[in-house]
Amino acid sequence: MNEILKMKAPNRPEVEVLGPTYEEGTPQGETTGKWSNKLSSRAEILKYLQTGQRYFFSPTNEGFGSEKRKKPA
Amino acid sequence: MTDKKIQSVDQATLEMIEKSHQDGCSTVFDRAENMKPCPIGAEGSCCKNCAMGPCRVPINKSKEETPEDHNKRKGVCGATAETISARNFARMVAAGTAAHGDHGRRVTELFMAVAEGKAPGYSIKDEQKLLQLALELGVKVGDRPNNEIAKDIAEILQKDFSRQEGELNFIKRAPLKRQAVWRQNGVTPRGIDREVVETMHHTHMGVDQDYQNLIKQATRTALADGWGGSMIGTELQDVMFGTPSPVLSQINLGVLKEEDVNIIIHGHEPALAEILAVVSQDPVMIEYAKSKGAKGINLVGMCCTANEILMRHGIPIGGNFLQQELAIVTGAVEAMIVDVQCIMQGLTDVAQCYHTKIITTDERAHITGSTFIHFDELNAIEISKEILKMAIDNFPNRHKNVRIPQVKTDMIAGFSHETITYLLGGLFRASYRPLNDNIINGRIRGVAGVVGCNNPRVTHDDVHVTLVKELIKNDVLVLQTGCSAMATAKAGLMLPEASKFAGEGLASVCETVGIPPVLHLGACVDNCRILTAATAMVKEGGLGDDISDLPVAGCAPEWMSEKAVAIGHYFVASGVYTIFGVTWPTVGSKELTDYLFKGLEQSLGGKWDFEIDPYKMAQKMIAHIDLKRKALGIDKSRERVLYDMAMRRDLEK
Ligand code: SF4
């Protein structure tokens, strides 16, 4: 179902984009939606926490986004 | 009869109210008709804190109050309307904080028992959340077994209940600037129990008689709820039962099944419900149900326990707070198993009209006329089987008057902070960046937390649903918990298809990410997940330095409990504009109300507001969001343009 759609884009003529690629239907089964099962070892979990939750757990401890500053708030 | 208020916008509720009358049985809807609220208590102008009173100091609403009139409004001890109203407000915050704090304490005790291997039936299900907490609390990870790490975490968090000095552990989770605001204002909570006890002391006759100082202590107490008791409960529940991730289920009384043994689990603490979810699937129990003439066992949730087991197991929800008695009115419920909080004593009266057994399970919450079975978490499986067996044995006692309304709706729940982060970027680029970017470019105007209870003083579910529809129509992403989440789920707003009700910008983001425009974040205790999400938005950058800079607003449109006041106040104290519906508990004192609605903003960055009409509520929330957008300089929507090489070359010229 790799449908190509034509869509309006800001400041550009109409563009072609890839349409929906998901499968029709309702997800079934116990593990549906349980994304964290994809991390299988402790090392993988820790790595994910240090990147995915970097605002809280980055090992560099330098702060991110609004808190990446020289002087403390 | 013509001016009689419509009792609900929910078809199943209306059907069951009618059936209750046919069956000669009265419910909360009838009691609310017969018992009008006391006008003096409603405005916070009644004090019964000593035996010289009770003293009533109501405001004269028929004319403008002169200073002389105001001066006369004093209790026997001389307490002013301000003091009386502030004391009442602070006591509501203390009671709410105590409820969530005690929930958190019980969870911590169970967590310690699990770590020590003393609670068969429970385990550490979510290693990721365990390690997350270990990193946050400075617990060594290395190659240590999970239960050793858990024991260290339990020991650290247990101290938050009894700490006398210092700060609660999760205070450090807040944005740095927010922590500084709390410290400057002297409201950083020390220990959860200490803040509750101090509030009770402040509000005792003849102690604190300065309304601003009373609110200061109420603030410290509320923060001990949001960033203390509630947060500890939520985080440790996640470790033991799993951090919620998206799950499809159904909601409303139509989830009850005529041929099955229907068991409703109602209350707040998920320890018993978690085990029942497992034991009700046990083939031996199912066979036992069949031996009594049923087809199977149907476990259904009610109130916040429902949210807990929905998010983690996909167990369907029977309904929200005002539907608890109506579930029994179907005549198809063999047992309603309850623990603590939001359980109406009226349940036992309603149960007498049918065959339902009301089973209380917690030493803290007995109900006259119910059957008490003490739920000991250290012997959870055996006790759950005993309870289940009692329910099954009751199946043959069903009366003839069974009618289950054929009303139920699909819903998706389970949007924890962790899951939102993952959904916005996947495993390799998990981040709040897409959310912040879409707020900055204006596709999403802002974020609203809409939470709280039901209240029979307003049309059931109407204010929740109307408000949330109005917000999403205006491109405001809505995060929900508690009975409020259930109201909009019943209206079909917790499905990706609901983006058809959303404004163009919000709909485009929801369709891209594949999420509904209204996200279910859990039970009332999980309101702290909204605090964590708001903190992540701040830390991601581009939306200011503090939660008070964010284009966000909070609301409890149909609130009724003291817990709601504690929650509302911790949102205000965390920098959020928070608006309540139904009634406002301090209108007896104009000075105090002005302080809560305006004055607090100068020191804490957040403030209270009150509005009954859902459209006006939405307008006020959106106006506040727009004000914050203006302050951030993002009030004009900007489309991001992807530049190709030709456009870049043009730029360079
Ligand atoms: S504390 Fe004061 S206002 Fe309250 S009941 Fe006693 S005398 Fe009346």
DSSP B199-256: HHHHTSTTS---HHHHHHHHHHHHHHIIIIIHHHHHHHHHHHH-----EEEEESGGGS
Query: Could you tell me the residue ranges of all domains in chain B?
Result: 4-63, 81-241, 247-397, 417-632
Q: State whether B135 and A66 contact (CB < 8 Å).
A: no
Q: What is the pTM of this model?
A: 0.92
**Structural domain contains residue A46:** yes
Q: What is the rounded end-to-end Cα distance, in angstroms, of chain B?
A: 76
Q: Is residue A48 part of a domain?
A: yes
Check for a shared fold between B247-397 and B417-632.
Answer: yes
Report the pLDDT value the prediction gives residue B514, as an integer from 0 to 100.
87
Q: Which fold has domain B417-632?
A: Rossmann fold (3.40.50)
Average pLDDT over residues B377-402: 94
Among residues B639, B629, B642, which one has the least CA distance to residue B504? B639
Cβ atoms of B17 and B410 within 8 Å: the answer is: no
Per-residue pLDDT tens digits for B507-561: 999 998 889 999 999 999 999 999 999 999 998 888 999 999 999 999 999 999 9
For chain A, what is the radius of gyration of the CA atoms?
Answer: 21
pLDDT in tens, B139-175: 999 999 999 999 999 999 999 999 999 999 999 999 9
Report yes or no on A7 lying in a domain. Answer: no
| Ligand 1 atom showing the smallest separation from residue B74 Cα | 3
- Take atom 3 of ligand 1 and give the residue whose Cα is closest: B75
Q: Tokens 């159904």 belong to which residue?
A: B250
Torsion of CA A64, B435, B308, B412, to 10 degrees: -150
Question: In which domain, by residue range, is A49 found?
Answer: 38-65
CB spacing of A27 vs B243 below 8 angstroms = no
Question: Tens of pLDDT along B89-109?
Answer: 999 999 999 999 999 999 999
The DSSP secondary-structure symbol of B74 reads B
Q: Is the peptide bond before B614 cis (omega within 30 degrees of 0)?
A: no
- Total count of domains within chain A: 1
Asked if residues B408 and B416 have their Cβ atoms less than 8 Å apart, the reply is no
Cβ contact A56–B245 (<8 Å):
no
Mean per-residue pLDDT for A4-11?
A: 80
- Min CA distance, B173 vs chain A (Å)? 8
Q: Is residue A45 part of a domain?
A: yes
Spatial separation of the C-alpha atoms in residues B506 and B484, rounded to whole Å: 21
Q: Is residue B133 within 8 Å of residue B101, measured between CB atoms?
A: no
pLDDT at A60: 67
Which own/partner contact pairs does B288-291 have at CB distance under 8 Å and 24+ positions apart? B288/B389, B288/B392, B289/B260, B289/B261, B289/B392, B289/B395
Q: How many CA atoms lie within 13 A of B356 on its CB side?
A: 31
The whole-angstrom separation of Cα B648 and Cα B653 is: 9
In a domain, A47, yes or no: yes
Residue B430 in 3-state DSSP? coil
What is the DSSP secondary structure assignment for residue B424, as one 8-state letter? Answer: T
- Asked casually if ipTM beats, i.e. exceeds, 0.90, the reply is no
In a domain, A61, yes or no: yes
B33 pLDDT higher than 90 = yes
CATH of B247-397, one of 3.30.360.10, 3.40.50.720, 1.20.210.10, 3.40.50.2030: 3.40.50.2030
How confident is the model at residue B60, as a pLDDT? 87
Distance from the first to the final alpha carbon of chain A: 51
Judged against a pLDDT cut of 60, whether residue B577 lies above it is answered with yes
Nearest CA in chain A to B137: A57
Residue B186 burial (CB count, 10 A): 10
Q: For testing the chain B interface, which of A5, A31, A42, A70 should be mutated: the one with the most B CBs within 10 Å?
A: A42
For residue A53, tell me if it sits in a domain: yes
CATH topology of domain B81-241: Substrate Binding Domain Of Dnak; Chain:A; Domain 2 (1.20.1270)
